[in-house]
Chain A
Amino acid sequence: MSLLQVCDLTVRIGSTAIVDRVSFSIAERQTFALLGESGCGKSMTALALMRLLPAVAKVTGGAVELNQTDLLRLPEYAMRRVRGAQVGMVFQEPMVSLNPVMRVGQQIIEVLACHAVAPPAQQQAEAVRLLQAVGIPEAERRLAAYPFELSGGMKQRIMIAMALAGSPRLLVADEPTTALDVTLQKQVLNLLRQLQQQRGMGMLLITHDLGVVAEMADQVGVMYAGELVELASREALFARPQHPYTQALFAAQPRSDRRDQSLRALPGMVSRPLQGCRLAPRCPKVEALCLQAAPDLLEMAEGHSVRCHFAGPAVPIGSAATSVPPTAEETPLLQVQDLAVHFPIRSGLLQRVTGHVRAVDGVSLAIRRGRTLALVGESGCGKTTVGRAILQLLKASSGSVRFAGAELNGLDRRAMQPYRRAMQVIFQDPYSSLNPRMRVADILEEGMLALGVGKTAAERQAAGLRLLEQVGLPAEAAERYPHEFSGGQRQRIAIARALAVKPQIIICDEPTSALDVSVQAQILNLLRQLQQKQGLGYLFISHNLAVVGYLADEVAVMYLGRIVESGPVQQIMQSPAHPYTQLLLSAVPSMDGTGKHTGQLASGELPSPIHPPAGCHFHPRCPHAMDECAKTYPEATALPGEHIVRCHLCKAG
């Protein structure tokens, strides 16, 4: 008996169907994952069945039945009772979903009162029970906290607690872990799975991450451009994906074992041809029939439906050029020694410095020409700060940054100018990294102008066009403004801007974490190709270990402002020595689709860099902590093969 039955649901904005005849059903205790890239209509589907669509979007057809009642025909007052009491909802951004000026306890009690779950006298106790259920320690004390006092993972737990307050039968989770680190993602996913088992809820899980699907889903629906293109059980989907788009999603996953080839990404971006199959402009299997007739969603095997004329085993996308790693030079181009950045905390009337945020606390790195050094770690561990301090966008408190032997720390604006050409940066957020008021041509020209690359305007313009071609954008892009481009295209523009001054080192601060997998694959290919051609050195800041395993040559793992382990990528990925690295790796969802939940559970969260724990910073979370760990910070131990680790365990063994 299915709990939720969605039948031919269609949502339109203007005349375009952003959700086009989508049908699926969810049984009790079942998790249905809706998988797709940004803009394919997954969130709109969820909002439509909660009847929370923005004013511009209208449901123009279909039915949504929850326990045999059609939600689309309920009057609004009855629908309000359905939300929360029968369907709970968890959103992507825990930061904006909580009211910042109300204590979390009040907010939970408000929900309890609204659904009359408990009599007023017992609401407090019920709220405590809920917080305990979502694994928040010291629940009583946390009720009095304001949202800003809590970390991101904590806030997401509270959102889940609130969604559970009305004991819903169905939980709708829209990208519940996208804003979180791998470790927190693991914790939250485990929590969701546990709660679902206990309460026998159905769950609609919306995600763009195949890893999350592999961990959580029973049934999977793959969406492309508003349509469901494949519907299958998880096992079937991971074993035999039938639709070319699903196959492309798998092929685009960066993995360590694909290091020596470029990723196979679908070319171009999502478009909606007027006629025929929507994937036709990008599909590797496209034939004449696809351009004329749109395929229907047909059942291929028991419980496995595919929308494709030529469903079947995958054909390779393009040619996967094997990449030859460039020969590395021995002397590092950029050498960072004991770099520290301490932000002063000011308080009181006179704004006296009362403490320091030790964002970066003694970091040493070396970047070689033509090589990629990855800097990994949880959010807030100081990765971005390292990058900014190297670029001298922030003043380092101590330590040295040497470029080709010359000390950069302490140089003033003018003295720094010659080195600006050598080091450039690509940022995470493609939306805030380009000035919306400047044409692409001006954006590309800016650096050349400031650093005196290219003498005449014509020369610079020609260089700009060459750069656009290099990053795979059409020449006419030069005349347009950033808002006319998609996230991936903007990231290409940002790369072109960095390349404009012919740098030798590029600091990439999570350049793909805001992008979809297929776009990520395109950008990773581009970065790698540029490195091979121009011998660029990359400092690749990331929290995505799959990407690091694919792209990096060396890895440095950072915890609370310090490097705890560093070495060649194979060694770190295959035989991590530090317990923290082990924990990070075990938190990466396994992609085999068997649904085995292996690995130790990452517990706890990153402590505050204002008062780091004594001894080894990691000891409160470390499964192997010993007495000595709480007392002294471990010395660096050299393992064979330039593998360095800071852990008392390794020293002992």
Chain B
Amino acid sequence: MSIQPVIFPSDILLGVLLAGGLLLVWLARRHGYFLEPWLRVGQSATGMATATVLLLYLAVGVLDSLHYRPALPAENAAKTVEYSPEVMSVLDALLSPLKNGTEKTYSAPLAVHLYGKETMTRADGQQVRDYPPALYGGAQRPAIGSLLLRGLLLSLPVWLVLWGGWRLARRRRSPLRWDAALLTAGLLAWLGLSVYELAAHYHVLGTDKVGQDVLYQSMKSVRTGLLIGTLTTLVMLPFSLLMGAFAGYFKGWVDDLIQYIYTTLSSIPGVLLIAAAVLIMQSWMDQHPDWFATVAERADARLMALCFILGLTSWTSLARLIRGETMKLVELDYVAAATAFGVSHRRIILRHILPNLMHIVMISVVMDFSGLVLAEAVLSYVGVGVDPTMASWGNMINGARLEMAREPVVWWQLAAAFVFMFTLVLAANLFSDTVQTAFDPRTRQREAA
């Protein structure tokens, strides 16, 4: 089957981000000072374990960013290949049973029937009012216990491989905490394979109002969360860095002006500013429906716009930090020495100031990430977040809120979004803690003392 690759702007940016990450790895290999703090992250069990979890999320996000349009079944052996208007991702293809296995409406996790009773006509013509059976998984489902057992058995070879990896790390006397990473990977593999086995026959996390699988939606939301958490920082970073470094380096009126801008910006309540910007953007997009070929394209544009808006409204705190640090750096003797050589301002900023701000940037990028993921949820819940057609945890929670009052409670949508988001945010927070201690110059001093 032929396919037509589709590349959204956000895919490009994600690619840029990944390339940036690889560049960092390369830099770290060349420059000892850059590798050193990362090695310290690797020497903490928390750092390695959470990095494993984050990598898993990243993998899901990347799979979901490889977009394409499948070819439609050729009609009458026509020469021209027609492509479907629906944009798929590799993740969609992998999860197609889940994607297509929709029900009529709600069903609870692992349930074999739907949520509400219906009047059905039985084969003998009698009308009964009962829970209709779930369509997905077929009539003859294996028992949950046996599926779990199969999941466990399937994970055994994975454990074996991981154990081999651990032996290798031991033999090489790697200073990193591979044990933590491999243990986490093993547990995740066990969980994943069990869910995989179950998901072939059950809606593991139930279905939503229109019968879509909640597990599938939660996984689709991973990309949205990751993009918001990372692209926003990518947008804001140049602003914060330049503004902060300029203010701290040039002082005087430049400093006054920049301080004035960010004090003004940060005194407007953030949510208000974001809501206003999003609403303007939304109505603007509504007026130009012709700009977007597909719904997905439109949703993507909106996601990007949201990243920009969040970025533009949140650069102030980092800029402030950078300004303060720059002021300290400027007082250092090596900057004075460079000035005594008549080195230009541009070169001083590029070679003496910016490289020495890297630890702050690193720390704030990882620290902001979880906050931004949560911000997306809040904004979507309020209705000024991502496009309603886009899978996101915020939209899931928003959709679930009305159903919380029903009896019995429809809890699984909320719970699923919560668990997925919580795991990501917790892992990111713990990871950022280790990054912070590793990059903080004071840690090194304490160790040296």
B217 to chain A, nearest CB (A): 45
Q: Is the CB of B342 within 8 A of A413?
A: yes
Q: With the chains together, A417 CA to B332 CA distance in Å?
A: 21
Q: Given A425-B336, A432-B332, A481-B33, verify A450-B352 contact (CB < 8 Å).
A: no
* Neighbouring B residues of A447 by C-beta, 8 Å: 341, 343
Task: Mark the stretch among A58-66, A266-274, A433-441 that contacts chain B.
Answer: A433-441
* Neighbouring B residues of A432 by C-beta, 8 Å: 332-334
Closest chain A residue to B341, Cβ basis: A447
A95 to chain B, nearest CB (A): 15
Q: Is the CB of A451 within 8 A of B341?
A: yes
* Neighbouring A residues of B447 by C-beta, 8 Å: 56
Q: Is the CB of A425 within 8 A of B337?
A: yes
Q: Is the CB of B449 within 8 A of A433?
A: no
Q: Given A56-B447, A450-B344, verify A427-B356 contact (CB < 8 Å).
A: no
Interface string of A392-417 (1 = CB under 8 A from B): 01000000000000000000010011
8 Å CB interface, A417-467 against B: 417, 420, 423-425, 427-429, 432-438, 442, 446-447, 450-451
Q: Is the CB of B342 within 8 A of A436?
A: no
8 Å CB interface, B313-363 against A: 332-334, 336-344, 347, 351-352, 355-356, 358
* Neighbouring B residues of A446 by C-beta, 8 Å: 338, 341, 343, 351
Task: Identify whether the interface residues of B are mostly helix, strand, loop, or mixed.
Answer: helix
Closest chain B residue to A56, Cβ basis: B447
Q: Given A427-B337, A432-B332, verify A438-B351 contact (CB < 8 Å).
A: yes
Which one of A391, A417, A435 lies within 8 Å of B356 (CB-CB)? A435
Q: Is the CB of B337 within 8 A of A497?
A: yes
* Neighbouring A residues of B334 by C-beta, 8 Å: 432-435
Does A611 count as interface, using CB distance less than 8 angstroms?
A: no
Which residue, of B337, B343, B447, has the highest number of chain A Cβ atoms within 10 A? B337
A617 to chain B, nearest CB (A): 28
Q: Is the CB of B355 within 8 A of A501?
A: no
* Neighbouring B residues of A255 by C-beta, 8 Å: none
Does B32 count as interface, using CB distance less than 8 angstroms?
A: yes
Q: Given A393-B340, A417-B342, verify A429-B333 contact (CB < 8 Å).
A: yes
Q: Is the CB of B449 within 8 A of A416?
A: no
* Neighbouring B residues of A450 by C-beta, 8 Å: 338, 341-344, 347
Q: Given A420-B342, A483-B33, verify A436-B356 contact (CB < 8 Å).
A: yes
Q: With the chains together, A429 CA to B331 CA distance in Å?
A: 13
A338 to chain B, nearest CB (A): 23
Q: Is the CB of B32 within 8 A of A481?
A: yes
Closest chain A residue to B351, Cβ basis: A438
8 Å CB interface, B184-234 against A: none
Does A21 count as interface, using CB distance less than 8 angstroms?
A: no
Q: With the chains together, A446 CA to B352 CA distance in Å?
A: 11
Does A388 count as interface, using CB distance less than 8 angstroms?
A: yes
8 Å CB interface, A179-215 against B: none
Does A54 count as interface, using CB distance less than 8 angstroms?
A: yes
Which residue, of B32, B338, B341, has the highest number of chain A Cβ atoms within 10 A? B341
Interface size class of A (residues with CB under 8 A): 20 to 34
Q: With the chains together, A603 CA to B333 CA distance in Å?
A: 33
* Neighbouring B residues of A56 by C-beta, 8 Å: 447
* Neighbouring B residues of A483 by C-beta, 8 Å: 33
* Neighbouring A residues of B343 by C-beta, 8 Å: 446-447, 450
8 Å CB interface, B278-334 against A: 332-334
* Neighbouring A residues of B347 by C-beta, 8 Å: 450
Q: With the chains together, A324 CA to B323 CA distance in Å?
A: 51
Q: Is the CB of B356 within 8 A of A420?
A: no
Q: With the chains together, A497 CA to B332 CA distance in Å?
A: 16
* Neighbouring B residues of A416 by C-beta, 8 Å: 342
Q: Given A435-B356, A436-B356, verify A427-B33 contact (CB < 8 Å).
A: no
Q: Given A432-B333, A433-B333, A481-B32, verify A393-B356 contact (CB < 8 Å).
A: no
Q: Given A56-B447, A429-B333, A450-B347, verify A437-B355 contact (CB < 8 Å).
A: yes
* Neighbouring A residues of B32 by C-beta, 8 Å: 481
8 Å CB interface, B24-75 against A: 31-33
Q: Is the CB of B340 within 8 A of A425?
A: yes
Q: Is the CB of A436 within 8 A of B340?
A: no
Which residue, of B334, B336, B351, has the highest number of chain A Cβ atoms within 10 A? B334
Q: Is the CB of B341 within 8 A of A435?
A: no
Q: Is the CB of A420 within 8 A of B352?
A: no
Q: With the chains together, A446 CA to B339 CA distance in Å?
A: 11
Q: Given A54-B449, A450-B347, verify A433-B341 contact (CB < 8 Å).
A: no
A384 to chain B, nearest CB (A): 10
* Neighbouring A residues of B352 by C-beta, 8 Å: 435
Q: With the chains together, A132 CA to B447 CA distance in Å?
A: 39
Closest chain A residue to B36, Cβ basis: A483
* Neighbouring B residues of A494 by C-beta, 8 Å: 337
Q: With the chains together, A423 CA to B339 CA distance in Å?
A: 12
Closest chain B residue to A394, Cβ basis: B336
Closest chain B residue to A414, Cβ basis: B342
Q: Is the CB of A427 within 8 A of B333?
A: yes
Q: Is the CB of B336 within 8 A of A427?
A: yes
Q: With the chains together, A588 CA to B95 CA distance in Å?
A: 83
Closest chain B residue to A434, Cβ basis: B334
* Neighbouring A residues of B340 by C-beta, 8 Å: 391, 393, 420, 423-425
Q: Given A388-B336, A393-B339, A432-B334, verify A437-B344 contact (CB < 8 Å).
A: no
Q: Is the CB of B337 within 8 A of A433?
A: yes
Q: With the chains together, A454 CA to B447 CA distance in Å?
A: 42
8 Å CB interface, A348-398 against B: 388, 391, 393
Q: With the chains together, A447 CA to B339 CA distance in Å?
A: 9
Q: Is the CB of A435 within 8 A of B449?
A: no
A104 to chain B, nearest CB (A): 25
Jot down 17 A-B pairs with beta carbons below 8 A, ordered by A.
A56-B447, A393-B340, A420-B342, A423-B340, A435-B355, A435-B356, A437-B351, A438-B351, A446-B343, A450-B338, A450-B341, A450-B343, A451-B341, A451-B342, A481-B33, A494-B337, A501-B341
The chain A residues found within 8 Å of chain B, CB to CB, are 54, 56, 388, 391, 393, 413, 416-417, 420, 423-425, 427-429, 432-438, 442, 446-447, 450-451, 481, 483, 494, 497, 501
The chain B residues found within 8 Å of chain A, CB to CB, are 31-33, 332-334, 336-344, 347, 351-352, 355-356, 358, 446-447, 449
The 9 closest A-B pairs by CB, nearest first: A433-B333, A437-B355, A447-B341, A427-B333, A420-B342, A450-B343, A435-B334, A432-B332, A450-B341
Apart from A393-B339, A442-B351: 12 A-B pairs, beta carbons within 8 A: A388-B336, A393-B336, A423-B340, A424-B341, A425-B337, A432-B332, A432-B334, A433-B334, A436-B33, A437-B355, A447-B341, A501-B341
